[in-house]
Structure 1
Amino acid sequence: MRDLGVGFQYLVQGQKWVARHGRQYGFGLIPGLITLVLYLAALTALAVWGPDFVAWCTPFADDWSSPWSGLFRGLLTAVLFALALLLSVVTFTAMTLLIGQPFYENLSEKVDRDVSPDGTAPESGLPFWRELWISARDSLRVVVRAALWGVLLFGLGFVPFVGQTVVPVIGFFVTGFFLTEELTAVALQRRRVEVRDRLRLLRSRRMLVWGFGTPLALAFLVPFVAVFLMPGAVAGATLMARDLLGEETTGGDDNDDHDGDNDGRSGGGPGGGHAPRPRPADPWTKPQVR
């Protein structure tokens, strides 16, 4: 349970970092604004035509007496829109990261340099076009996984009561997990960690992931909030990626938020109290550093 709080602290630390680096924050807003316009148009279309889609999917309810048919379809429409919002959170992040690849890559590198004991940041050594292709490919894989979960949860939404109460809650945790995967990918791709290894790494510390991603998923449902939180979310995910890989972290330029340790332990978590975690046994490629 402690990891839940630690994950949330990383989210807060990321927002504090971009608050201290205004230029990085300003550039990080541009991709989110572009993506927001596209997604608002899509959600508006769903709000207009969603009831017709639900009616088409439930012909068996045509002969139900009033008001049961309307109530049933109304609940399903609400579940459909809620799941669309959750799925949009995951795809919004993927699309924004893809559009803003140069901005967020640069931001993540600066965070690494700021908190690294030797002031260096891992780099993939790949050309930009190759990194962009890998990012798009991996994002598509994650979005497909998230979409499959969305279809499953939508199907469970037909179950009376459970579909309107338990399913949306599960949906937020699922969305928080995939949202965290997308955000940590910025830092982990530079370390040449493949998408399957990233997912395995995140599953090994689900509480940490949910502590970071689930509050962010809830916040992203508020209009325009996603745009303003994205730069800080990338920064916080970079700090969390260092913890996941057991990399030593110093206080950077915010010693109040990251206390260094003098007893040989890593300051991997917020406040510096985490001992280094061994890297997973997967044969990941060792990154270069500048």
Structure 2
Amino acid sequence: MAAGSFFSGLGYLGEGFRLIREPGLRLFVIIPLVLNVLLFGLFFFFLAELFSAMIASAMGWLPDWAWLQSLEWLFWIFYGLVILLMLAYGFVIVANLIGSPFYGYLSELTEKHLTGQVVDTEGGWGQIARDIPRALWREIQKILYYLPRALGLLVLGLIPVVNLVAGLLWFLFNTWMMALQYVDYPADNHRVSFPDLKRRLGRHRLSALGFGLPVALAAMVPVLNLVVVPAAVCGATAYWVREGSQTPTS
């Protein structure tokens, strides 16, 4: 069974960045983008306050030696990396949960644009409102799929020797999750169930991982992660139109 081309999958995020500049799509990019900026600011403020308190607590446990107290900057470097990782994946999960009704409609408009249909946004707000319950349930399904597997990988990371490959497995899983996360929007618009979507992407696993890899990397870059979400939605829709929509599930 064809697994798709990894290198063809790499190009879809770049296409997504081109698509979000299209006049008919911009409005439904700007609104979730504003929400993402506000969300990112709250995330950063909350985590900075949390880790500032953790550093103060950690320093309080150290002996009152001048050279140890001078190592506070090392704690900040370490916690800065932790903040970056938590922002990357925590931000994506929460941003998708909040913006899912917008992203579903953005995916629909992108598909119309790609297939040569008229992109008409009249009545879009009513459709977005009607789709909120279904979109939220779909996001919850993805979170329920993600959490037990992420926990399993976390446990593997605590086992000596096995933890040497746990980091690679973690990154591959997050790459797969990024593909699953964003291709789900056009799939849901076509009423493809979440289990069926997993089977479809499994049949094109290399191109799916090729698409998910740059998305996972971009999600870890501050500021870029604000715009990568709508670009990934548009890129995933292009992926769906060309590779996913005709894939049989049996």
TM-score under structure 2 length normalisation: 0.73
Unaligned runs of 5+ in 1: 53-73, 247-276, 282-290
RMSD: 3.5
Post-superposition shift, 1:220? 1.1
The question of whether the paired residues in 1 share the 8 Å contact of 2:185 and 2:237 is answered with yes
Post-superposition shift, 1:182? 1.8
- Relative to structure 1, is the Cα distance of residues 120 and 29 closer, same or farther in structure 2, using a 3 angstrom cutoff? closer
Picking from 4, 9, 12, the partner of 1:10 is 12
**Per-residue Cα deviation, 1:147-182 (whole angstroms, up to 9, x for no partner):** 21221222122234652x532222121112112222
Unaligned runs of 5+ in 2: 57-74, 121-125
**Per-residue Cα deviation, 1:192-216 (whole angstroms, up to 9, x for no partner):** 1111111222222221111111221
1:159 is aligned to 159
Q: How do 1:1-290 and structure 2 match up within 5 A?
A: 3-21=5-23, 23-24=26-27, 25-41=29-45, 43-44=47-48, 47=51, 81=82, 85=85, 89-119=88-118, 128-160=128-160, 162-163=162-163, 165-246=164-245, 277-281=246-250
RCO greater where, 1 or 2, for CA within 8 Å and sep 6 or more? 2
- Relative to structure 1, is the Cα distance of residues 213 and 130 closer, same or farther in structure 2, using a 3 angstrom cutoff? same
Post-superposition shift, 1:230? 1.7
- Relative to structure 1, is the Cα distance of residues 17 and 192 closer, same or farther in structure 2, using a 3 angstrom cutoff? same
Q: Distance in 2 between matches of 1:209 and 1:50?
A: 39
- Relative to structure 1, is the Cα distance of residues 51 and 181 closer, same or farther in structure 2, using a 3 angstrom cutoff? farther
Q: Distance in 1 between matches of 2:21 and 2:130?
A: 31
Q: Distance in 1 between matches of 2:115 and 2:233?
A: 17
Post-superposition shift, 1:89? 4.1
- Relative to structure 1, is the Cα distance of residues 231 and 120 closer, same or farther in structure 2, using a 3 angstrom cutoff? closer
Q: Distance in 2 between matches of 1:141 and 1:2?
A: 25
- Relative to structure 1, is the Cα distance of residues 36 and 193 closer, same or farther in structure 2, using a 3 angstrom cutoff? same
Q: Distance in 2 between matches of 1:50 and 1:170?
A: 29
Report which of the two has the higher share of helix: 2
Letter in 1 for 2:33: L
Post-superposition shift, 1:38? 3.6
Q: Secondary structure at the match of 2:5?
A: helix
The question of whether the paired residues in 1 share the 8 Å contact of 2:156 and 2:166 is answered with yes
Letter in 2 for 1:11: L
Q: Distance in 2 between matches of 1:140 and 1:91?
A: 14
Q: Distance in 2 between matches of 1:152 and 1:175?
A: 13
Letter in 2 for 1:221: M
Post-superposition shift, 1:191? 0.7
**Per-residue Cα deviation, 1:100-157 (whole angstroms, up to 9, x for no partner):** 2443233222211111145579xxxx96455211221221221122221221222122
The question of whether the paired residues in 2 share the 8 Å contact of 1:104 and 1:186 is answered with yes
Letter in 2 for 1:226: N
Q: Distance in 2 between matches of 1:225 and 1:12?
A: 13
Point out 4+ residue stretches in structure 1 off by more than 6 angstroms.
49-52
The question of whether the paired residues in 2 share the 8 Å contact of 1:180 and 1:237 is answered with yes
